[in-house]
Amino acid sequence: MARKRGSCDFFLMLMVFALLAIGLVMVFSASSVTDLAYHKDAFYTFKRQLAWAGMGLLAMVFTMNFDYHNLKKLSKPLLILAIILLIVVLFMPERNGARRWIGMGNLSLQPSEVAKFAVILYMASGLTEKKDKIKNFVNGVLPFVLVGGLIFALILIEPNLSVAGTVLIVVFFMLIAAGARKRHLTMLALLGSAAAVVFTMSEDYRYRRFTAFLDPWKDPLDTGYQAIQSLLAIGSGGLMGAGLGKSHQKFFYIPEPQTDFIFSIIGEELGFLGASSIMILFLILIWRGIKIAINAPDNFGSFLAAGITSLIAVQTLINIAVATSSMPITGIPLPFISYGGSSLTFMMAAVGILLNISRYEKA
């Protein structure tokens, strides 16, 4: 039986604050060299990340105190808004060969970040209403697969296969949480794997990334360059690391070390112990998220917590796998740590929702 609103999950909040603090320190360490060279200000990226962290904390406090039950009526409008933004972004100027940002003065928004949480909220609401139909593929599973597929297609056009794939993986995990039949899930997994192969082979740069993953030293100055530099960073860190701020790879060897490859800099500066400690923090955070999903007082809260936790887990796994050359190079930020305004703000808001749900846990 549900109880009145109480205190939030202290351990979850502690893990998030710890990761956020580590992220701010590591963003400064990873970006200071290039910022000094290009912007004449070693604190350029750090100050921007600090501002976004402040905004993220405000978003977290708001969502932590805004009754999550009221989010259900926002699920469809937010999904429609996300679709509109994903269409609008396709008409924006290209940045590094892609259209992923909508500029607003000195600020920019990544619609894919809105879309990820819009899909989670929409599915949590829809699964709550269709809980008794989830065993039926046409009426229970297919509608959510189609919505996820639409978001996947729009993000893929940008192009951004990694984020698009993340959306589908989260949809898959939420269907598991809802109790979909194993044969339906198996079919979706096989179709998803086949689609991943097709999309990888359909674009030359994706295929080259895949072959570079198999043997990065075959083309060390081009397609295998990032993987090799990342491994050199992590390998040179050893057990204890070179020391905070003493990375060599951030000196123009790893491109944008404060974003997708920040874990490599962490491995180099803090060593195996430091990198392992961060992974432990993520594991504790994910465990607390699963606990919240299990103990949520209603299906909506349970599905919402499961979706948010799945997103954090998937992004963390992919980012670390890329940094350690355990999968082909792709662009997924490490939650709470990588530089990125939209990602950090929306992730903090999502954690606020998790904390909100934890305040209503079953007695």
CB 241 within 8 A of CB 271: yes
Judged on CB neighbours under 10 Å (0-12, 13-18, 19+), 335 is buried
CA-based nearest residue to 343, from 355, 330, 331: 331
So where are the chain's domains?
10-358
Judged on CB neighbours under 10 Å (0-12, 13-18, 19+), 290 is middle
pLDDT tens digits, the chain, 363 residues: what are they?
Answer: 345 677 888 999 999 999 999 999 999 999 999 999 999 999 999 999 999 999 999 999 999 999 999 999 999 999 999 999 999 999 888 877 778 888 765 577 889 999 999 999 999 999 998 878 899 999 999 999 999 999 999 999 988 888 999 999 999 999 999 999 999 999 999 999 998 888 888 778 788 888 888 888 888 888 889 999 999 999 999 999 999 999 999 998 998 899 999 999 999 999 999 999 999 999 999 999 999 999 999 999 999 999 999 999 999 999 999 999 998 888 899 999 999 888 999 999 999 999 999 998 775
241 in the Ramachandran plot: left (φ > 0), alpha (ψ -120 to 50) or beta?
left
Q: Which helix (H) or strand (E) holds 107?
A: strand 107-109
pLDDT at residue 3 in the model: 52
For residue 109, the cross-strand partners are 102
pLDDT at residue 127 in the model: 94
Q: Which helix (H) or strand (E) holds 103?
A: strand 102-104
